[in-house]
């Protein structure tokens, strides 16, 4: 009797639990789909998402000008996120360091012009010769 219980527990940890994790990860991926994402279907068709209908659970893919409607679960994986979502995530992640760098370069630029007029007069003299 103990052997049967151990086999059921082992089956759960080796088969059922990893499969549920994978299903949850796939569902999260489907929930994050946006127009413009590059995807691959389960039939290995590559396309760009043109429209998502969450009520009907369908997605319309643009495959080189041909529009095909698939079941949402037919999406195997996302190969490239849309540019709009990448820009949004990149902008949210790094606006402060970029502003600090701009401030530093402005200060450095303010110090440089005072040195430049002396160099410009030297260049004008060379141009006259």
20-55 pLDDT per residue, tens: 999 999 999 999 999 999 999 999 999 999 999 999
Res 123: pLDDT: 52
Res 129: pLDDT: 47
Res 82: pLDDT: 77
The structure's pTM equals 0.55
Res 122: pLDDT: 53
Flag residues of the chain having pLDDT under 50.
Answer: 87-116, 129
Res 80: pLDDT: 85
Burial class for 82, CB neighbours closer than 10 Å (0-12, 13-18, 19+): middle
Burial class for 122, CB neighbours closer than 10 Å (0-12, 13-18, 19+): exposed
Res 116: pLDDT: 47
Query: E strands, the chain, where?
Result: 38-41, 46-53, 58-63, 66-71, 75-80
Res 103: pLDDT: 46
Other CB atoms within 10 A of residue 96 CB: 8
Measured over all CA atoms, what is the biggest interatomic distance in the chain, rounded to whole angstroms? 105
Q: How far, in Å, CA of 76 to CA of 67, rounded?
A: 18
């Amino acid at each position: 009797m103990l052997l049967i219980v151990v086999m059921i527990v082992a089956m759960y940890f080796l088969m059922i639990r990893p499969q549920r994790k994978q299903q949850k990860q796939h569902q999260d991926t489907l929930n994050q789909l946006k127009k413009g994402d590059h995807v691959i279907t389960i039939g290995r068709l590559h396309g760009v998402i043109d429209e998502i209908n969450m009520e009907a659970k369908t997605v319309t893919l643009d495959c080189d000008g041909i529009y095909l409607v698939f079941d949402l679960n037919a999406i195997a994986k996302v190969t490239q996120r849309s540019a709009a979502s990448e820009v949004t995530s990149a902008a949210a992640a790094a606006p402060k360091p970029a502003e600090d760098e701009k401030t530093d370069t402005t200060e450095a630029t303010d110090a440089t012009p005072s040195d430049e007029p002396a160099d410009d007069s030297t260049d004008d003299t060379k141009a006259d010769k």
